[in-house]
Each structure stands twice: as structure tokens, then as C-alpha cells.
A and B are shown apart, each in its own frame.
Chain A
Amino acid sequence: MTEPLLSVSNLRTQFRTDRETVRAVDGVDFDVFRGETLAIVGESGSGKTVACESITRLLEEPPAELVDGEVVFDGVDLTTLPEATLREIRGNRIAHVFQNPQRSLSPVYTVGEQLVEAMAIHDVASGTAARERAVGLLDRVGIPRPSVRVDEYPHQFSGGMRQRVAIAIALAAEPDLLVADEPTTALDVTVQAQLLDLLTDLQETLELAVILVTHDFRVVAELADRVVVMYDGKVMERGSVGDVFDGPAHPYTQALFGGEDVADRRVDDADDTAPTVGCRFHRECPHAIPDCRRGDQPPLRPTGTGQRAACVYYDESHDSSVVRARRLEREVTSDER
């Protein structure tokens, strides 16, 4: 296989406050290849956003702190780069789109000015050529009457249109990697459908690599090639979309897909944080055994069905059919319906 465009290994990011240190990302590995979409899935607090913002160091440091790991992008370890060099890569080669498009838009400049600026910073185009390209980009992302709207301000656009503008700005510098963090979560479903269509189209025609951060398996099913499932700063499962959807291997992934028995034990208590010893999921897991409460999170092991899962049941000394059995049940019940 070819070299990955981005290779993240053993990434650890923590937040330090007076009272405590939160290990938001606690040893995470994943690769992204050119032209593919990798989805990072998890609930709030899983560390999915922090992991992505650690790539180009978007986090405010302190309180955030990158304590360990490598982030190799196109052969260069970004964690060792000075801020100035990193800034060039950010936006230029790795662009971000956020849940809230305002985060990448300025209220005081027209969208045209912002697009032109993005192109100028990254030496893509300038002058009339830049303006023409700005109109072309707006047209490309589906803004009607782009030659008029190019002179309007972000607040004159609807939420969905504003997200399209943010995507246009992200693409202005022709990046290799687009990091899209819950890009459609704040939008209505019909607007989301339009945006998902646009992202699919852009990704195919521009051969972009995309990291899609989301909580929504439906969005994953629509866009992603591969999936990383995160819980409490750890990767629980990793594999191709087909393998993970065919039979989620990790009990946590199964819970996200709607396992009944897990819901009863769900830890939903503000003062009850996940354990730091053993499998992070053991308090909620319906299959937990004493082994799950010892040592560290089990490593990602092959499951025999294509993907990898961080669960004790996939080592040699346990019988993985215990957690697998549920998969079969699930398939049967969904067929019956």
C-alpha cells in the first residue's frame, strides 16, 4: 500500500487546570490516505475533536498540552514544527471546517474579500484572477448568484449557505486534507443532505483526503471509507465502513448502534467519570469480566472480520464469540423487523 498522507501515532493531549489533569486524547493512532474519507466517531467527551485539533495544534496551549505522539503529514512530523511553519500548513495544506461556520468566517469582511485573502496568503491567485476564482468557488459549492453574493457579508447568508461559504474558503488554498468537524450537525436534515451531496462531489472531483468528525453513524454511512470509534480518549474500534457496519465488533460500538442491554447501565452522571484503569468502557459494558478492570485499555487486535477492536475478548485467551454472539442476534432481530 502507498504511504499514508497523514499518520497519527500514540497521540496524547491533555488539559491541565488547577484541580485536575484531563487526558482528553490518550494514545490514539490512525492513518489517512490520499483521496479517502476517514470518520472519527464518538459521543461528546470522547476526544474526537481534540484529536483532530491536535493535528495542526488549533488548541489553545495552555490549558491544552500535546504530551506525546507523532503526527506525520506528507513525511514531516508536525509536532516538531515551529508555530510559523505550522501556520503555513494550516489552511494551506490542511484546512478545517467546523460545526459552527462562524469560526472560519469574519463578520466584517465580505465573503469575496475573505476568499481572495485566503488565496493570497496561500499564493494561489491575486487581483482580478482571484476575484474570478472566488466567484467560481462560490458557484462550485452551490451558492446561487455567486457574482452578486460574492460582495455580501456572512450574516446575509443562511446557516446552510454559510457552511458552503466556509467550505469554499477551506478549499481556496487547494488543500490536500480537509478536517471537517461535525460539518452538518447544526443544520436541518434537508440542508444536511445538500451538504453531504456537495462533500461527496468535492471529495471525488478534487481527490481530497477528508477527516470527518461526527457523532452520527448515518453521516458516516453516507461519506466515510474507514471509521475510528473513540471513547474517553481511546480508540475502541477501527476498520472499513463495510466491516464495522456489517458487524460492529467492540461492545461500545455495538452500544452506539443501539444495544438494548447497554442502555440500562449507561453512566450518565456528572460526577461519575470513566475509569482510568482497565477498559475505559467496563462500567457500562454488558460483557465486562474481572480482566476488563485490570491493566490498561486492551490494545487494538484483529477481530477476524476485517476490523480491529480494543477489547479483551479478541486476545487468544478469551472466547470472542461472547461479544460476537450479540452481533448475530442484532442482525437477526433487524432482519425480522
Chain B
Amino acid sequence: MSGEPILSVRDLERHYPITRGLFRREVGRVRAVDGVSFDLERGETLALVGESGCGKSTAARTLVGLEDPTGGTVRFDGADVTTADGRVATDFRRRVGMVFQDPDSSFNPRMPVGEAVGEPLRIHGMRDEQRERAIVTELLELVGLSASHYDRYPHEFSGGQKQRLALARALVLDPEVVVADEPVSALDRRVQDDVLDLMADLQERFDLSILFISHDVDVVRSFCDRVAVMYLGELVERGPVETVFEEPAHPYTRALLGSVPALDPGDRGELVTLTGEVGDPADPPTGCRFHPRCPAVIPPPEYDLPREEWRALLDLRFAVADAADADEDPRTGDRSLREAHGVPAPLSDPDAEAVLERALTDVEDGATERGARRLAEAFTTVCEAEVPPEIDVDDRPVTCHRHDDRGD
């Protein structure tokens, strides 16, 4: 790992317009990828990890040119390939191979797999059939299959074998970078291990740099060198896998790791559970995008409240605000608002309790909007008001106010 990164991504953006009416007037944007920056160093495996809808796959598809970025730059081996065409683009496509979660997407059921593996060669101008066959056969053997598989059809292969074929196809043009989007997610655990072992072998043999898109913390831990954690279109933390996974600095990373059950029945009941659901990328939360769910969300200096109480109080505040917006009664079922959000009675800070009581009385009286306003004025957080800057924590870029002077 030396010199310039092989792939360098800056402020990458992929927005989808939401249009309405005959003239397709743009009324909003889905911010699927919203300013993502990272480097892929030569020879390393970098994971882009996150949950569904966080934008990791879109980021991968955008940076290899399968989708057009709406902003930012992608540099490959020093050259700007963001909107490249002609020779630069062809060259870039040759030097970056791609593997997807569903191998069936890259194999035509009516084409023998050998031909499918060799297809990129033909697309890039190879006319010599014998040479093509020789190259493909050698690759088939390298991925643990054999020459006898050349003329068979996709349905004759197991899921793991198909992923081996997909790897062969991704490598047929001798690329320097492989972008693998959830390549083992559809496989049984033991087959996953086999395919990952194979990828590690191939990485060494072909001197590959790998960008590995995954939702699976276990797989990332066992296979990747560095990791970038994504939430709602943005990166929240990046660094070496050991450091990030042993001492996560961002509350979302902590929640992600803490929500994986331990492999020990003695440790049950210790799961980190977030409240609420992932936000809408068409209307992301202000400030830090994780603030509506973050267990560590920062309280205002004037109140002295333990973490859980503050989180529960904010949940209640947001629920009342939502109800006010929708012109609904926030109280539901037979539980009180306090109970529904786990807000203790009374709060440990008497001033906060006084505000809350007044707001709850408002709601009681049917003045939900007034109650919502009262709560919003008193219970503010820097996490909602200001976008956290990127801060280096032990050489790891982290975007969270807990690490700037606004926290603690």
C-alpha cells in the first residue's frame, strides 16, 4: 500500500429528482448518496457497510459509472473518470470489475457459462476464439471450477459456484479494482467462507484492490482491512476494521455493532435497540441525520438529564410534533404518552418536568400544536440544529458532535 490511492472519491452525490405533473416539474430530490468521500488504497479491501437504503449500493454503482453522479468526482489511478467518455471511459471499465449479490443478473440462462465469462473480452474487441477459450478455461480453474464446466448452463450450478463464475467474469479483463456488491449475502454461511477464501486468493494473485459493499458485520470483520460506515446517504465514520469495530467512535456504528446478537447464550438480552425507523432520504432529518434515533443525542446545557431520559423525551417531542402536523391525537391505545415513549414520571430534572407537564396538559386539552411548540422550544439539541463536521478521532474521520466542542 503505497503512493496514490487507486480510487479516490470526493463528495460523490447521486440524487434522484422527484417530479410531478405533465412537465415533470422537480418537486424534490431523493438524496440516495449525499456527499461521500473516501480513498481505496492499492491492494486493500475497503468495506462500505450500512443497512438497506443507506445508499451503499447506489454509491458503488455510481462510482463505476453504472449511474450518473449528480455531483462530486471519481479519480481512478490519478485520472478524473467522473464523466469520462471515449478511451478514458473504456479504459476505466476494463480496469474495474464488478460482482453483484445475485449472480443470475450477470448470466443469461441460455448462454453457456464459458461464453458468458468471456463476453467482456468480446465486448472489448477480442476476435480470437481460441485465445478467448484458453483465457476463460484458465480462469475457471483459478476459481475452483474446471474446463469441463465451460459448455454448461447457469442452472446447472449451485449458488456458490455461480458466484465463482461471476468472479471469473469480473476478472477476465485483468482489472486492478473489483467492486463487489454483497457478493456472498445470498449464500449459506459455509459457502460464504469458501467464496471469501477464494476472493482472498484471487486478490493476492491479481494484486487487486477491492471495494466491498456489505450489510454483514461478521463478513466485513473477517474479510476487510478498512471500513466506511454509511447512514442515510452519508459516511459517518471510517477507519481500520479493528479500530472501528473494537472502539466505534460514532453512535450509529456503536448501534449497528451492538444490534448483532452475541454468539453466546450467556450474553442474551444485551442488544442495543434503536427507537424509530431510518429517515426518508427524500426528506432527511436536519443537522445530524441520526439525531431522531441516536442513543447519545446531546441534551441542551440547561437540563441535567440522563441519556435514556433525554432520548425518551425527544422521542415524545417528535411524536407530538408529528401528530400536530398530521392533525391527529398523539395519544394512542390505552397507554399514556409517557408510557408509550418510556419517559419516567417525574423526570430527574424538575425544570424539564415542569415544561413537559405543561405540554402534556396542552395535549390533554386538545391543543396539540401548542404542546408541540412548547416541547420544541425547550427541548432542543445541537444534533438537530447543526450538521456535525468531520473530526479526526485517532486518525479516523467521524461526523458526530460528541467529538467536537459541542458535545459533553
Contact = CB atoms under 8 A, between A and B. Distances in A.
Interface of A: 43-44, 135-136, 138-139, 144-148, 158, 160-161, 188-194, 196-197, 200, 215, 217-224, 241-242, 245, 255-256, 258, 262-263, 266, 268-271
A263 B271 contact: no
Interface in B320-340: 322-323, 326, 328-330, 332-335, 340
Contacts of A148: 326, 328, 332
B344 to A, nearest CB: 19
B272 interface: yes
Q: Which 3 A-B pairs have the closest CB atoms?
A: A193-B259, A139-B333, A188-B51
A252 to B, nearest CB: 10
B317 to A, nearest CB: 14
Given A145-B323, A190-B255, 18 more contacts: A139-B335, A145-B319, A145-B322, A145-B332, A158-B277, A193-B271, A215-B188, A218-B260, A218-B262, A220-B265, A222-B265, A222-B268, A241-B265, A245-B264, A258-B193, A266-B191, A270-B156, A271-B156
B111 interface: no
Nearest to A259: B190
B333 A192 contact: no
A189 B260 contact: yes
A138 B335 CA distance: 12
A127 B215 CA distance: 44
Nearest to A263: B193
Interface string B249-278: 000000110111111111111011110010
Greatest chain B CB density within 10 A among A138, A147, A215, A221 is at A221
Nearest to B319: A144
Contacts of A191: 51
Greatest chain A CB density within 10 A among B191, B267, B319 is at B191
23 contacts: A44-B188, A139-B335, A139-B340, A145-B328, A145-B330, A188-B51, A190-B51, A196-B271, A197-B271, A221-B261, A221-B264, A221-B267, A222-B269, A224-B265, A242-B265, A245-B263, A245-B264, A256-B190, A262-B190, A263-B194, A263-B197, A268-B194, A270-B161
Contacts of B259: 189-190, 192-193
Nearest to A219: B261
Contacts of A192: 259
Nearest to A184: B261
Contact of A268 (B161, B274, B328): B161
B157 interface: yes
Contacts of A266: 190-191, 194
Given A146-B333, A270-B157, A189 B193 contact: no
Contacts of A146: 332-333
Interface in B175-191: 188-191
Contacts of B217: 189
B313 to A, nearest CB: 16
A151 to B, nearest CB: 12
Contacts of B256: 189-190
Contacts of A135: 332-333
B239 interface: no
Interface of B: 51-52, 156-158, 160-161, 188-191, 193-194, 197, 215, 217, 255-256, 258-269, 271-274, 277, 319, 322-323, 326, 328-330, 332-335, 340
A190 B333 contact: no
Contacts of A138: 333
Given A44-B188, A136-B334, A148-B328, A188 B272 contact: no
B261 A139 contact: no
A188 B215 contact: yes
A193 B194 contact: no
Nearest to A138: B333
A221 B263 CA distance: 6
A258 B193 CA distance: 9
B163 to A, nearest CB: 10
Nearest to B145: A269
Contact of B274 (A190, A217, A223): A190
Nearest to A190: B259
A263 B323 contact: no
Given A145-B323, A241-B265, A269-B161, A194 B332 contact: no
B351 to A, nearest CB: 28
A238 B83 CA distance: 58
Greatest chain B CB density within 10 A among A189, A215, A258 is at A189
A144 B269 CA distance: 23
A298 B63 CA distance: 54
B402 to A, nearest CB: 19
Contacts of A44: 188
B332 A188 contact: no
A269 B332 CA distance: 54
Contacts of A160: 277
B319 A218 contact: no
A258 B217 CA distance: 16
A136 B262 CA distance: 32
A192 B215 CA distance: 13
A1 B263 CA distance: 29
B333 A245 contact: no
Contacts of B269: 200, 222
Nearest to A222: B261
Contacts of B274: 190, 193-194
A258 B188 CA distance: 12
Contact of A147 (B188, B261, B333): B333
A144 B326 CA distance: 14
A200 B189 CA distance: 25
A269 B52 CA distance: 30
A191 B273 CA distance: 8
A308 B333 CA distance: 47
Contacts of B188: 43-44, 215
